[in-house]
Structure 1
Amino acid sequence: MKMKDLFAFYDGRVNEFESARKKVAGSKVTIGWLRLLVFLLIPLSGYLLYPDWKIIVPIVIVLLGVFLWLVSRFTDLSEKHAFYERLVAMNQAEKAALRKEYTAFDSGSEFSDPGHPYAIDMDLFHKNGLFAFLNRTATRSGKRMLAQYLLQGSKDRKHVQAVIEDLKHKTDWRQKYLAASRQEDEEMEEAAERWIQFPVKKMRVIRILRWVLPVFSLSSLVFWQAGVLSDMQFILSLLIPMFLIGTRLKETNKILFTSSKAGEKWKSILFRLNELEKCEFDSKEMQVFKEKLLQGENSSREALRRITRLIDLADYRLNMLMGIVLNIFLAWDFWMQTLQMDWLAKYNSDFGKWENDLAHLEVWICAANYAHNRQDLTYGRLEGSQIQTERLGHPLLSPDETVYNDFQASGETAFSIITGPNMAGKSTFLRSVGVNLILARCGFPVVAEQFVMPDLLLYSSMRTTDDLSSSASYFFAELSRLRFIVDAIERGEKVFIILDEILKGTNSIDKEKGSAAFLNKLNELGAKGIIATHDLSLCRLGDESSAFQNLYFDSIIEKDELTFDYKMRAGVCQNMNASFLLKKMGLT
């Protein structure tokens, strides 16, 4: 799909969901007024019919039932309204992303780690980096899982590829699945964690009282209506369940208030599972995934359906009037507490597994969204010892601005030495290789017509900074990074190394000798990689050994103007532009 077609596609979805949102908003207002009217009728009926309590009580009970139904209906409409709001925002964010504006998407900065083999050099968690570019996750667990994929890769890339191919054309379902999630905040996360960890108690006395007290209260109501009990006797009989429930109020509130806050998370997961049920998948991988989560009486969906219903019922007591009536006649708190404990005893050990499965699905949706928005993609093959890429580009550049390059290296080639003037495209090419290798290791599509590389771990040294807090010089910091890479090789890791102008912190003679010696050591250790350098003396390695090959980018100076074609060629660069640029900018 071309860029203008993508803009039109997302524009259409914004208009569709905005129209649906306005329709739901109208229904929500109507139900809101009806809810208020019924609530006002409760005290009004008591006032008009007083003192005929035998008529007042049944009418109040009926009105409370109608009120509860309207509250439930209003809640459903509020959920639907928020759902469409999220869909509108989602498609507006996609339009912004096409313009390279990723502010709507978390950059994952908390996952940035200077000690990681490549995270900093490859701009994974920069505000306009790869994480923000891919990130469409709706939950904290999904965000953490996406970071894990980018930092570690996937163990089952074929599975991921099959799922992405299944999901990339299901934009409507992908977006509705993500929109079904609620915004998770720290308070919700902490409440969910506390509630899952509540010790499960048997509560034998409460289990008996939850049956006995309603029978006692309702019998008292019947006897009062029949004239067997006087008004005072009836009132005194109602104080008994209130007293017994009140003795457990502190513990009950702790459980039910915590579950009420945690319930927002359970509902979010349940809504996503409901969306999962609606989609018919083509791949066997997604069919099995769906069946695992949805089928059977003890499936995650059935379990979450039970607990969210229990939490909704427990929340009715938050209204003081409702709480009093429900506890007097139905021992509501005791029922809610014991039923929630029963759920915990059965399912609390499974919750982490469900959340982990759905976090993987969020990551697959992110990758499918990326695959939907670009057409110049393929799946990488990580195999063998040769490098064979055709029309390789950087994923963060749009197809219209991408200059594609081919890159090959035989199985004998340990290092490709890339020379070229400033701004000619060396660093961008290094990151194109690195970022696409990261994507391939995740099982995600890469920007290439063909992408075949050895299945190696990526290590890089491109951005080194000094550390004044530890009195570490730039040169020492750079040596520490190179030591970090060598340590990985020496402990048996098979690595692909990307280096950009190493040993910048020393003089030119030291740099020349040290760089050549380091590359020879890496070759002896069996490592493969790429290095970009301005040091043309390193290119002698390519003349002396088949373990090294020389490639270059070039610039064109014509009529006092400097231009670049950003195309890589075989050989050694002969044109440098630093002196030209200094003169051009009036610095010499």
Structure 2
Amino acid sequence: MDASTEKYYRERIALAEDKIKKERKFVNGYSFLRLFMILAGIALTGLAIKHENILLTELAIIATFIAFAIVVRVQVTHIKLRDYHTTFRQVNENELNCLAGKANSYSCGAEFANDLHPYTSDLDIFGKKSLFALLNRCSTRGANLLLASWLRNPAEVNEVEKRQELVKVLASDGEWIQKFQATLISDEAEVDLNRLFSSLKAFPAGLDSCTAIFVKLSPLIFFISAALSFFFYQALIVLFITGLSNIFLVVYFLPRIAKASRITGKISSDMYRYSGAFMLMESNPAIAALLAKGLEGSGADSVTVSKEVKRLAAISARLDVGAIPLIGPLLNIFMAWNVRHFSTLAKWVEENKGLLPEAFAVLAETEALLSLSVLYRNHPDWVFPTVVSQSPAMTAVQLGHPLIRDNVRVYNDFSLGDTGHIDIITGSNMAGKSTFLRTIGINAVLALAGAPVCARSMQLSSFQVFTYMRIKDSVNDDISTFKAELNRLKYLFQYISENQHVYFLIDEMLRGTNSADKYRGSKAIIEKLISMQGIGMVATHDLEISRLEATHEGYVRNYYFDIQVDNDDMYFDYKLKHGICKTFNASLLLKNIGININKIV
């Protein structure tokens, strides 16, 4: 764990806690003030009634209501600030937990796991203690899907370079990152944005011009006639007709209002959060440019996204008020409340129909980029790889596995060479062969997603990774281990045939058959891969396979991991070396559990 990074997060937590305490005092103070307002209002109203003064009674009630509403509004503002700073503290606490190797509070991406994918299962890309769990700082469903897509599909050179530049820009502003995270985090269930986007396309038509004019004027007519009714009884007729007309309009437009409510009901809190996120995006020059580009051709490129999303939140919140018992009917009588705000909402949809899908696509991209930038901030010693167009290419200095803790991680150098090779990795049990294969694969996934890699330096070309490691049988599907291996090999050959640049990582092939067939089969498979001009690594315990270097000089190379043995004690250095392994430890490992193979005749 980097000491300066840890210190930064602890300082942010302390700052947030001070602000939380301050806002709590405000919230508690306004609670007492609300109680005082109620008691004072009751007293004033009672005093006016005692003096039999109708006007004073009405003024006392109205004044109490207005004062109470103002206090509630101010208190709600402080409640929101308290909750925001609480979330801000949670953001920093989560980063400390992640640095300490504890679980990330964001999704681990288990729903994206797929054993049939070319590499995600073998390289621990999704699930608990996975690469996705290390990276993810996405709150919205769309962002989670996009980040998962980046890890499943390597990008081309230009796209990788674009992401790297944006990640560097975001990583330089930790304050902006944490504000953005805190704004988007919510304990509430997220609104289904895809359903919302689809439903807005079939939003009901608004009001005709005459009805719209009446709805705008009805509250003014109602309250003027109500005021004049104290002096002219004829005004009561106007008051009654206006109220009745409002009720008629609400009933007449009820089907449209109901449909609108089904589409936008209960989205206001989410939209307020999203408007805050868009406001932050607009304040960041790099992300603002990304947002402007995303809106090109949508018909909404001239609008301020945060402003329009906030308008949508406010309109949908007002429409929700019309459904509240007692309050809703009164507002509908006074001012045709539901019709008024349905009309405003219909107009908003008509003006901004192309806005939301494109804007939220950029929001998802921003969250995915932010995830990569947090990784870089938490690991400032990691580097952005150079991605080159010529293929195949891979050179790494001090390459380590990103999911292994810093204090136990071992680093290795590796170079693919100028023309590409098949590298045979031999070695003792537990010496590090499988981990090294995964180290190569997972860093390639990071690099081609646009993220920094766990290395001092790295250069690679854009290629497709394919792994053959965790072969699983299935009783339900009647698939034995050997059959599962054959299926994976068939997929590998097909994948190499269909894709131009593939780098494969094979860990101990044909483990589900006898040793003689295993050797002959493994040798034949590697020969076939050579004939297909395949490039990759094969880890094996079978030393006979290493003889292929002699028959395919310049194409097959031998590397190994070994151990040091001292009085039956084994020492692992986990360092990659050129050549063939000559030290093995199976007998010692068996002896540790009480089995001595030297006594077997």
Q: Given the two structures, how large is their TM-score scaled by the length of structure 1?
A: 0.91
Distance 1:195 1:409 in 2: 52
Distance 1:386 1:455 in 2: 8
C-alpha contact (below 8 Å) 2:431/2:572 kept by paired residues: yes
Distance 2:234 2:291 in 1: 58
Counterpart amino acid of 1:273?
F
Q: Which residue of 1 aligns with 2:131?
A: 130
Distance 1:247 1:71 in 2: 34
Counterpart amino acid of 2:4?
D
Cα displacement (A) at 1:547 = 1.0
Q: Which residue of 1 aligns with 2:103?
A: 102
Distance 1:276 1:554 in 2: 52
Q: Which residue of 1 aligns with 2:308?
A: 303
Q: Which stretch shifts more, 155-164 or 71-80? A: 71-80
Q: Which residue of 1 aligns with 2:599?
A: none
Q: Secondary structure of 1:188's partner?
A: coil
C-alpha contact (below 8 Å) 1:140/1:184 kept by paired residues: no
Q: Which residue of 2 aligns with 1:427?
A: 434
**1:135-183 CA distances to partner (integer Å, 9 max, x unpaired)?**
1112222211111111113351111111111122322210111110142
Cα displacement (A) at 1:509 = 1.3
Cα displacement (A) at 1:485 = 1.4
Q: Which stretch shifts more, 205-214 or 300-309? A: 205-214
Unpaired stretches in structure 2, ≥5 consecutive residues: 597-601
Distance 1:253 1:78 in 2: 31
Distance 2:387 2:147 in 1: 21
Q: Which residue of 1 aligns with 2:290?
A: 289
> Which aligned pairs between 1:165-184 and structure 2 lie closer than 5 A?
165-183=168-186
| Structure-2 change in CA distance of 1:540 and 1:314 (3 Å) | same
Q: Which residue of 1 aligns with 2:70?
A: 69
> Which aligned pairs between 1:84-483 and structure 2 lie closer than 5 A?
84-155=85-156, 156-183=159-186, 186=189, 188-189=191-192, 192=196, 196-204=200-208, 206-229=211-234, 234=239, 238-249=243-254, 251-253=256-258, 255-256=260-261, 259-279=264-284, 281=285, 285-286=286-287, 288-289=289-290, 298-317=303-322, 320=325, 322-383=327-388, 384=390, 385-483=392-490
Cα displacement (A) at 1:84 = 1.1
Distance 1:5 1:242 in 2: 65
Distance 1:175 1:526 in 2: 47
Distance 1:147 1:69 in 2: 46
C-alpha contact (below 8 Å) 1:167/1:174 kept by paired residues: yes
Identity %: 27
Distance 1:122 1:337 in 2: 51
| Structure-2 change in CA distance of 1:453 and 1:573 (3 Å) | same
Q: Secondary structure of 1:28's partner?
A: helix
Distance 1:472 1:458 in 2: 25
Distance 1:340 1:330 in 2: 16
Distance 1:193 1:292 in 2: 20
Q: Which residue of 1 aligns with 2:496?
A: 489
Cα displacement (A) at 1:345 = 1.7
Cα displacement (A) at 1:480 = 0.5
Cα displacement (A) at 1:319 = 5.2
| Structure-2 change in CA distance of 1:206 and 1:480 (3 Å) | farther
Counterpart amino acid of 2:355?
D
C-alpha contact (below 8 Å) 2:204/2:259 kept by paired residues: no
1:567 aligns with 2:566: no
Cα displacement (A) at 1:370 = 0.7
Q: Secondary structure of 1:323's partner?
A: helix
C-alpha contact (below 8 Å) 2:434/2:507 kept by paired residues: yes
Distance 2:61 2:262 in 1: 27
Cα displacement (A) at 1:44 = 6.6
Counterpart amino acid of 2:570?
L
| Structure-2 change in CA distance of 1:18 and 1:224 (3 Å) | same
Q: Secondary structure of 1:377's partner?
A: coil
**1:356-413 CA distances to partner (integer Å, 9 max, x unpaired)?**
1011111111111111111332222333334321111111123332211011122334
**1:2-26 CA distances to partner (integer Å, 9 max, x unpaired)?**
6333322221111111111121122
C-alpha contact (below 8 Å) 2:154/2:464 kept by paired residues: no
Distance 1:572 1:196 in 2: 65
Q: Which residue of 1 aligns with 2:584?
A: 576
Q: Which residue of 2 aligns with 1:512?
A: 519
Counterpart amino acid of 1:119?
T
| Structure-2 change in CA distance of 1:571 and 1:484 (3 Å) | same
**1:395-438 CA distances to partner (integer Å, 9 max, x unpaired)?**
11233322110111223342111010111111111111000100
**1:555-586 CA distances to partner (integer Å, 9 max, x unpaired)?**
11112210100100000001110111111221
C-alpha contact (below 8 Å) 1:381/1:451 kept by paired residues: yes
Q: Secondary structure of 1:265's partner?
A: helix
Unpaired stretches in structure 1, ≥5 consecutive residues: none
Q: Secondary structure of 1:416's partner?
A: strand
| Structure-2 change in CA distance of 1:42 and 1:487 (3 Å) | farther
Counterpart amino acid of 2:469?
M
Distance 1:46 1:246 in 2: 36
**1:191-246 CA distances to partner (integer Å, 9 max, x unpaired)?**
74575355231332752441353243133223213334376885676444345434
C-alpha contact (below 8 Å) 1:195/1:262 kept by paired residues: no
